[in-house]
Structure 1
Amino acid sequence: MSAPTVETPLTKLVGIRHPIVQTGMGWVAGPRLVSAVANAGALGILGSATMTPDQLRSAVREVKSRTQAPFGVNLRADTGDADERIRILVDEGVQVASFALAPSRDLIARLKDAGVVVIPSIGARRHAEKVASWGADAVVVQGGEGGGHTGEVATTVLLPQVVDAVDIPVVAAGGFCDGRGLVAALAYGAAGVAMGTRFLLTSDSTVPDPVKARYLAASVQDVTVTRKVDGLPHRMLRSELVHSLERSGRTAALLQAVRHAAAFRKLSGLGWARMVRDGLALKHGKELTWSQVLLAANTPMMLKASMVDGRTDLGVMASGQVVGLIDDLPSCAELIERIMAEASGVLERLPLFR
């Protein structure tokens, strides 16, 4: 039995059956997960920030070999090789480009001219208004409940602000994992929901099983926000590593930052000059120390330790608060079908105003 479908401005914009987006998580959102989401009728997004350009092209081609459905790629607009990565998207016919940091007006125009749908992620009303005025096709609005880098305003407050401020499709992120949440987001005026932690905890996710077990065992209280990883608010699971980072002094933090920078340089093939340029771009407009800049530029190494190597003692585990509501590992197809069936049931049970 196929899942019920709901047509929204998001589904029409990107050509998907269900108004659900899997976010572009570094080390997690690879070809297997993205293609499974796409084949289930939702929008899967490759996390390219942890890939070299060659790896990105290879990953895009692998997704294309696994599915004929639309999918996207998440990009960092502030990196030195952003132009090269955009060329890859255009050359390979990728349908959607998403951004964790707002792309420039020129970047949006270039992508749109090439027929690519542009969907930045934002955490404030003014940012949504800015990218909408620059031509963005839609926005993902992440409230403070969301995992990874996050803000302080709850989704239930931020979402209606943005819906009222822009006339492009708004996708709600932060605190969603089921059909009830989808119905709630639609009631607020969103065109769909975006989920990261929920898709990380599926059988199609390549995250090691012992790491998934740590997530499944977590309660809502086991999720914290710290600035000690990279100087920015970062929501993740509590762990001994996080505790040690929060206790560490400036010298220890700088030494750790240098070690991670060296490891990322070796993995990515980037030169020190390029890494410094990217760090300067990240530091611009923010009150960050140089140790925080190094960690911010190389946080991928701390995520890789957990998400790829299974070393939760050496890595961080980005997580939304919604992890405390998740207790199983369905396939993406099972999850999406369940969400849509739940949403349909919720709508049927809602009392109507007379």
Structure 2
Amino acid sequence: MPASRLGSWAGALLPALLSLLISTAPASASPGAPVEAPPRRNSLEARLSWGVTAAGASRAYRKGATGQGVVVAMIDTGLTAAKLDMFSHLSPHSTDLVADRRLDDGDRAHGEQVASLLAARVDGAGTYGIAYGATLLPIRADRDGSCLRVCAFDPEVLAEAIDYAVARGARVIGLPVAAQRPIPAIEPALARAVASGAVIVAAAGNDGGSQPVWPARYAADPRFGASMIVAGASTPRGRPAAWTNKAGATEDRYLVAPGQQVIVGCTTRTCRLTSGTSYSVAYAAGALAVLLSRAPELSTSDAAGLLLDNANDLASRGPDPATGRGRLDVDRALRALDH
């Protein structure tokens, strides 16, 4: 199932912002026109995209680091045709791995929400992604008909999706999914992703447990750990969310990123607040793309190391089983890279 609380509308309307959103939406921009200029500071769009600022990514754009040229795969519930113009750089290899899908009437907004926080374009309306210049490769992998209730993923299809991402040049692979047990069927695919040089960013889970869910817990496995990041959720105040799973055995590969009350799904009248470590995956994966666009010669595992080494400690100095390496800080990682 997706590592997100889908369907939670508590506090979903933002009255003070919504009336502003109506008047600030661009009147003449063509829907699919890419806008590559950096977001305007203190604009409504920037304020709605509070997670970007909280993750320390805003200064990166002034250095030209937007994720451009980096393929980021997101294995999730895909995008609908109506949402494609949200992204400036969408891979032509985007796919649905269930070729004979028939039951497609459920709520599968999860994939679109996660993708928007990762790579939605800057267009003066709604929100933009932390790596708005990255090439998004959405891979739909949910079981046919499962999203009529709670989206579910079959292990064999997840393995196929990981291999598909590697074959299409993804340097970063997002896995915003959760299971309570190991998933042996995906282990060979994870090994192939590691061998390819890709880094996997996996959701810690939303149960408040002392250990991450699977596949994130594979970050404690020496076969995969050096090529994984586990994403827990932080609040708008920068603290770990009370409900996010802790680092546990993955403390060396765990950080928290915005995941509580992030803003998604804006129209000209409304936005939605939602929470889950799936959304933290988007920020951590996008942060990797930003670093790699700044230093294309950097290996993806080295970029992951920079993010982990330069996270802001939230508990005792160094990794700990509650908060891992700390809070995502892209600006701090970039400064370490530049020096």
Identify whether the pair has TM-score above 0.5, normalized to the shorter chain.
no
Which protein has the larger Cα radius of gyration, Structure 1 or Structure 2? 1
TM-score, scaled relative to structure 1: 0.31
Scaled by the length of structure 2, what TM-score is found? 0.33
